[in-house]
Structure 1
Amino acid sequence: MSRTGTRVHLSGPLAVDEIVDLSGDALQHLRARRLRPGAELTVFDGNGGEYRARLETLERREATVRLLRHEPREAEPPLPFVLLQGIAKGDRMDLAVQKAVELGITRIVPVFTEHTVVRLDGERMRKRQTHWQRVAVSACEQCGRNRVPAVDTPVSLDRAWEQVDGLQGVVLDPANGCGVEALPPPAAGIALLVGPEGGLSDTEVAAATNRGFEGLGLGPRVLRTETATLAALAVLQARFGDLA
């Protein structure tokens, strides 16, 4: 974590000595922390590193911060981790996105599967994607990451395969999956496929394995989709990433 508990994401690019106006989510974040002018905080724009900053003004509808210096600190995993997440309902999907970001996921592809019950199209899909991206930003502010993982436009599973070419695929398979210790080490990164409520169908698991995905089991208990996502990422990061 950074040396201060207050971290704010701002659209960049940013530069040292710049005075930046804050509004919207960033302003609400500062107000919730009850900061006063003169307080120090950390600002990042997603382009790498972070800025030490000082709160100059804080009004009801706007605030300003001065960027004091840039620090090249990063908290990214050594390999890219892409999550193909079967779209779940409401808070379950939010929790999966939030905790995946905290655990080092570098990209999230929401996926429509056979058991997906959420129906999204047009404007509703755009709003949900925007919402999930904001969840990812908030998670980065909390956990100390300076690069915000992209949350892609939701796609069908058939279209998702092309999004992860070149990565070692892992699919959650409670029935036939092996333990994490049996997975081959990834050469370029990992793509993890997790189903929604109800899991993946046998056909979808077979389609994944036919494309070279390795089946992963997580023990004898049945996990909810959001729990399964977190557990799988944790064991994969412990085995191949930077989770000590």
Structure 2
Amino acid sequence: MPVALVTGASAGLGAEFAHQLAARGADLVLVARSQEALETLAVELRDSYGISAEVLSADLLIEDDVDRVVARIAATDHPIDLLVNNAGFGLPLRFADNDIDDEVRHLRLHVEVPMRLMHAALGVMRGRGGRIINVASVAGFISRSTYSACKQWLIGFSRWANEEYARDGVTVMALCPGFTHTTFHERMGLEPGHEGIPAVGWLQAKDVVREGLRDAARGRAVSVPSLRYKLVVGLTNILPSSLTARAARRGRV
């Protein structure tokens, strides 16, 4: 069976990726900080789908823990066929008012960690084949503080890597959802109704993951789930950046 490693697997999009991949018959390596949450999820997936689910508790802001995840990805025994870089967190949009150490950790988790895990994955996938999905955001197409900048890097690198390593049988895709009902906003102390975004602007995690997996199978470099957010991305190409930057001050994606 194919083997998928998912970071940030204990909740939100990560847990949804785990469920949908298990339903398709994939064995899993579940990565997150909470050992207890991962064990609970692993038991549920094994019982529901009859697949194998490894638990790898790791704080991806700790170098030794990143090294353990890299070692698992690089292992040739039961190798990884699909890497889902999903782990992340948000910060308030006012960069100058944020703690700079928090901003550095934010940058590391959204840029350095995916880069390290992708490097390890490419080392075992090239020539054998494989897929990498980097969970980015529609925010990556809009100027809005450091979260946007991190996601812009992830989108740009995924586009290049998808073209560069296609000859080696490896696809790399940035998944760019808009506002999605997950625990992301709750961890920031925010409620969806307080984001200033109407209900029609919110996506369901199951739809985001389903469309993302479909686009990854098609070899696409960028996936923007839902027609409404494809339209948003299209508008960013023609509207002045000053206008989109003002609009982007609302909410978190």
Could you say which TM-score interval applies, normalised by the shorter chain?
Answer: 0.3 to 0.5
What is the TM-score of this pair, normalised by structure 1? Answer: 0.38
Of structures 1 and 2, the larger Rg is shown by: 1
- Higher relative contact order structure (alpha carbons within 8 Å, sequence separation ≥ 6): 1
Higher helix content, 1 or 2: 2
